[in-house]
Amino acid sequence: MISLPPRIYALSVLCCMTLPVWSQQVLTSNTLWKPVTDVALQNNQKVARHIYPSSYLLYELDLKSLKSQLVNAPPRGQNTIKPIILSFPNSAGVLEPYEVYESPILDLVLAAKYPMIKTYVAQGIADPTAYMRFSVTQFGLHTFTLSELLYCV
């Protein structure tokens, strides 16, 4: 049997213990989005469109699950707290992981009056140039993404 130095052994045990937690977070994040066809959305009044791009991809978001995960997002600027990691589809239709922080933009009085409006900032992990601002309201998810590598979404 091979004997490992104590530091290497401790690091190996730590990695083995945290891998299931990390993989569960990534798997949960990837189940937020489900590809759908436009046929599935034809009768939905919220997505009635008059202009269609020449090519596009559609996803259905599990908004309830997203909101439950965002409850754990740390405030922006508190680097001592680990951010949550969520995946969002990019303009190529690939789910990309982001570090997500809560970033309130409403005045405290307005935030108290409208608790259903939450705003966040996200930094790309696979694409470090990707920067996202998004909000979650009673009407759904609204995002704005910038990246040097892909088109804006």
Q: Which domain holds residue 98?
A: 31-146
The reply to whether 83 falls in a domain is yes
pTM: 0.73
pLDDT exceeds 90 at position 19: no
2 within domain boundaries: no
CA–CA dist 5, 8 (Å, integer): 5
Asked if residue 13 is part of any domain, the answer here is no
Report residue 53's pLDDT band, with 50, 70 and 90 as the boundaries.
Answer: confident
Residue 3 forms part of a structural domain? no
**Model confidence at 80, in pLDDT bands (50, 70, 90)?**
confident
Q: Looking at residue 66, what DSSP letter applies?
A: H
The residue among 104, 122, 124 whose CA lies nearest residue 114 is 104
Number of structural domains (the chain) is 1
